[in-house]
Structure 1
């Protein structure tokens, strides 16, 4: 038997030598260059930032002899997507003053700013923290932004979900002093960081003291969590590393069914990689749940794959071990056996769009934001409209897992005024937004994402445009189904459990997936691979036409595709008359 130590990935060495994520980031900021080196780029993710370049301008940059047009993307950590109007307004200010004048609401209920120049990264993070928000752990090999049902409800169940989300955010967060030292410490007249002894890391301090949960090398890969209700899986609980499904009895949460091992990313060239839905592991009481989540994270920390980052997500550990062995190990770390899951499972999904009663005499209004992008142009003024609403109502805003926003605490007498402000900005209300557009979702992709192979956010709206009329002719305008699109197989818009999905595979070519569902608890299959961009709409219309002709009573698009299977679906779609 070989006794050779495993060959760790290059990122593991970078983390180990980083002094808890500080690296040489201060020196690089002081150097005045327009981009960071490869080692610090890995560490910056933990601080909430990715380096990007404008891929639309690469040829222009090359001709000008300037390399690339670099900038930083900055992502916030906003537990459950809850943010005040004042905080939202300040973020809109920053996207204009320090970013590219747009703001992105993400698929994990948080905010991204794009186009931040390197010299503006520190001031931007400082301003974010000054408004009682943070970017720490929004990216990187740690637990990221925790998702939670964003519905504003005057009941103990939703209040407890929100309270637990906040508690878990702190309990699962890295404790590195480097974040404060790098971004929040005072600077001298030349902009150099003045180190605060309180936040300096001593070489002799044990890792378990500085990072009691993560240790010196953090996790093998990113880690995601979400909380949901059986009747409302609006945060896609089965796609999370840890999903907590609330078990409610007599109007009170009595515990959580703990799901483990979900994850969407895959690498087609690596045959042993795959998307996965989480598996039901055990039941945890409210008193146990935080400790159980920390135990799950520790099992992944100590046993996850640190040799190959493409196989490092916890879903691979669960798949390799089996759920029984994984649960037994979690129980060892937790220190006591756990009960089995109850029969409670997901059976509903509310996107919380439009008017909904809060239960306290007030209303919330969910406004669809197509693909989460906030901008102003000569047709639509998303930013101006939302500014008006924030200034007027000064209420809490909640971001959804479908990249949209919910305005809360609206008085019945103010409903018409809110709708008036939306219409005045040229923003389509939820009521006039087609069902297919309302339930669609895309990742950022080109031009800023370095992983993107194809278009996604910039392409999906025109695909929806071409689907709306055929769907109306087929009598399917009111049919609810999810269409999700990503520019690469990494799966940031959660395509692999959607009714239908387009995933970038090669230049201007997509893999078409079918057979998932809006409920989120079934994986889709590959319907057709390497479909050229100019025929993807016709391929989807063929599926809808087949669905119209051959569906069974009460069957959704995803149910139909799953029932007939890939081969029969292809035959039926080819034979179905186009509207």
Structure 2
């Protein structure tokens, strides 16, 4: 970002850093995210990065330090350090990946990532089980495939999402291209990444190293997404900044702009809550970059830098007031928003199996339960990537589309899938609408199981649905191992967030298309209580629902939960 209005920061963020949060001082002294990361990578005494500051800074480089929590207690008893390893997240705007990139990702996962990859809820890949000595080989291998991990984590603009439905043809291509353009525009410009991971020489320059972010970057993470109605697969209202595509006969006209979404909250901290984004107007295509700059500028300059629990953009908006925030964005843009255009969302899932587009190409959506690509799936997809002439597209529902397939290539793809994974399409309707974060054993924030447990819980919920004649009823289920909400549980019809091993908060009443928050029904309960509550609610749903009514809507109409009309009232 080079706009002079952005370089002229409206607040002096270097003011009295000791009065701000410790992370702000840490970023300020990091020398634009360098810290002592390079030196820490050379330390052979430990499998970790020794400096606590560097552990935080590496998130800006797309890397989380973790340890195997299944082994943590045993290693402590043996007086050994934790079994340190790292998670690496790839920057993949809109979830689009070429076959050549897929083959490189596959090679790196087999060599350095425990022979597994994860498809995330933000349309990208995560490597897990990476040892310290493998960090540079992975990042340099990604570079060979024109991929990177810049800003996949950290207090900056994270990976940019985009609706992946290829059935929208050229219109979708325009939106996807804009998502890629915005992603490339908003990432940090520091040269630290190239120096640490590619071995580039420190280059002297008179230009500002971070003309937009400055020395302290953003107060917290910032998420951007592009939605293409009628599909809300990206959960656009969960984004800090959402662009909702509006098209006409001539193609893409512009976007409705939604600001202030965010899922994270903290248990026992009622001042924290999830929030759905508010639509504040419309911008034409040629104003999208200026709009993104202006929105991020407001959060950069006015976000809370003292209390990280309240540093997300949603709190800035609620503290300052939506009208004030909108006016400030318009002042920075130099033009007012136009009135928002009418639009409607009618789906948030994926279209499974084969679908075709007017250009004569075919698209095969594969169900990947909880986004886990094990060795069986990796083998199948490697064989497909070797002859595929289109692209791969990661969906926000942790599934995968083999896109742009020629008619003559379809039989070969079907044969490969039949050989390696004949049951790939046989997941139930409930599982097709379920998402789980990774949680144990790798995530350091996890309080309870998620990815490893949700399939077992779904077995039991499916039995309840079958008993009530609702086997084919679509219901969204989201589970997170902690309250941070990476799987977007607070907009699910059934949401679960971990509190302790085997214990969860249970939420009901979210909107099926991501348009409404849910509300907590019971706190800190185990499986028997969860199933008891769901059995009663699902039983009533089967007996009392209205034609076409979704489960989340029913729980509100039937008085099982009160509707949440605004994030600030989520904990009421």
SS, match of residue 287 in structure 1? helix
Q: In the TM superposition, what is the alpha-carbon distance from 1:235 to its structure 2 partner?
A: 0.7
Alignment correspondent of 1:577: none
Q: In the TM superposition, what is the alpha-carbon distance from 1:505 to its structure 2 partner?
A: 1.8
Q: Could you say if the C-alpha distance between residues 219 and 427 of structure 1 is closer, same or farther in structure 2, counting changes exceeding 3 Å? A: farther
Q: Normalised by the size of structure 2, how large is the TM-score?
A: 0.92
Alignment correspondent of 1:100: 114
Moved more, 286-295 or 247-256: 247-256
Alignment correspondent of 1:15: 27
Runs of 4+ deviating beyond 4 Å: 3-6
Contact 2:508 2:561 in 1 (8 A): no
The 5 Å alignment of 1:382-393 reads 382-393=377-388
- Distance in 2 between the 1:249 and 1:369 partners? 34
User: Which of 476, 483, 489 is the equivalent residue of 1:489?
Assistant: 483
Summarize deviations over 1:519-559 as a string: whole Å, max 9, x none. Answer: 00100011111111344234323322121011112100111
* Count of residue correspondences: 547
Alignment correspondent of 1:264: 263
Summarize deviations over 1:504-524 as a string: whole Å, max 9, x none. Answer: 123321111111122001000
Contact 1:154 1:359 in 2 (8 A): no
Query: Any gaps of 5 or more consecutive residues in structure 1?
Result: 186-194, 570-579
Contact 1:238 1:277 in 2 (8 A): yes
Q: In the TM superposition, what is the alpha-carbon distance from 1:269 to its structure 2 partner?
A: 1.9
SS, match of residue 332 in structure 1? helix
- Distance in 2 between the 1:560 and 1:477 partners? 17
The 5 Å alignment of 1:232-381 reads 232-250=231-249, 252-376=251-375, 381=376
Moved more, 470-479 or 167-176: 470-479
Q: Does 1:196 align with 2:201?
A: yes
Alignment correspondent of 2:451: 457
- Distance in 2 between the 1:319 and 1:499 partners? 25
Contact 1:144 1:225 in 2 (8 A): yes
Q: Does 1:34 align with 2:34?
A: no
- Distance in 2 between the 1:345 and 1:142 partners? 30
Alignment correspondent of 2:431: 437
Contact 2:489 2:496 in 1 (8 A): yes
Alignment correspondent of 1:190: none
Moved more, 390-399 or 263-272: 390-399
Alignment correspondent of 1:512: 506
Contact 1:513 1:525 in 2 (8 A): yes
Q: Does 1:396 align with 2:399?
A: no
Alignment correspondent of 1:422: 417
Q: Does 1:530 align with 2:533?
A: no
Contact 1:89 1:387 in 2 (8 A): yes
Contact 2:349 2:433 in 1 (8 A): no
- Distance in 2 between the 1:460 and 1:346 partners? 27
Contact 1:241 1:260 in 2 (8 A): yes
Summarize deviations over 1:149-204 as a string: whole Å, max 9, x none. Answer: 1122473311110110111011111100000000011xxxxxxxxx6142x5x7xx
Summarize deviations over 1:238-280 as a string: whole Å, max 9, x none. Answer: 0000000011122522111000000000002221000000001
User: Which of 156, 161, 164 is the equivalent residue of 2:175?
Assistant: 161
User: Which of 149, 169, 189 is the equivalent residue of 1:135?
Assistant: 149
Q: In the TM superposition, what is the alpha-carbon distance from 1:413 to its structure 2 partner?
A: 4.5
RMSD: 1.9
- Distance in 2 between the 1:18 and 1:48 partners? 16
Contact 2:17 2:24 in 1 (8 A): no
- Distance in 1 between the 2:521 and 2:533 partners? 10
Q: Could you say if the C-alpha distance between residues 232 and 154 of structure 1 is closer, same or farther in structure 2, counting changes exceeding 3 Å? A: closer
